[in-house]
A and B are shown apart, each in its own frame.
Chain A
């Protein structure tokens, strides 16, 4: 079974995965969506870390350490960041972190990732502005975005058909650039939320 869901909080994500296991759906993979296998309901213990690795060797070493300490690596790649672990047996520690600082540090790492992603789009946005590629008049005179000859002289059904047909194209023409500031904003918001969670976890609240 596949499920789409988005989390900005690792603790909530872990709780959700454990809850899914209690209902008989155990995580088997994660790409864009979560992949679950149907099993006997179980009290699983899923834990998450956030790390990317410079080399394949580093990644192997990391996974080996967790396997040695009783955690099965379920999902995550060298560059995916999110790493999903499931406690193998009953022995060993309950968590993959034994102090507050390291438990909080994963939020710092994901916050930095969101922030650098947001920053990537800033120069692109600056270029679009400085080359006048962004036409702000489209806000004031959206009719200029319609290219159908004689559109505004048509009437009745003919007008509406032509108008509605072209509207998606006109929208695309005029407002695609807005994706960039929106993305900068959304990524910055994720970075901010992760940073807040980092501080909160560090204070042990």
Chain B
């Protein structure tokens, strides 16, 4: 009976931790797809590397209990904790050194009903074309 309770507790803690980790991992992947430029994508990748990975590994450690596997999993968590910021810093430093220009200032994605910028530009171009056509017609008339 008591053992059963412990097993249920183990399952619940592990499930909560792994669900949280999965949420951060998927959010990081979606962020890497959605964000507008390289420097901002880096932040989403960092989110996956820190909290997502650590939470999934903690959930696995809770599952494995006191054993050699959980020690190894803790070692992996420690290695990721050390190497991921270093790799992030190296990638972003290399991009900065190579002269990749960051997008700065406010940025807002398009709301679902809004027209994308390219379309409105195309409309403006079409309008200006109409205007220039009118002008040329007017010139012809003058002639």
Q: A and B from one assembly?
A: no
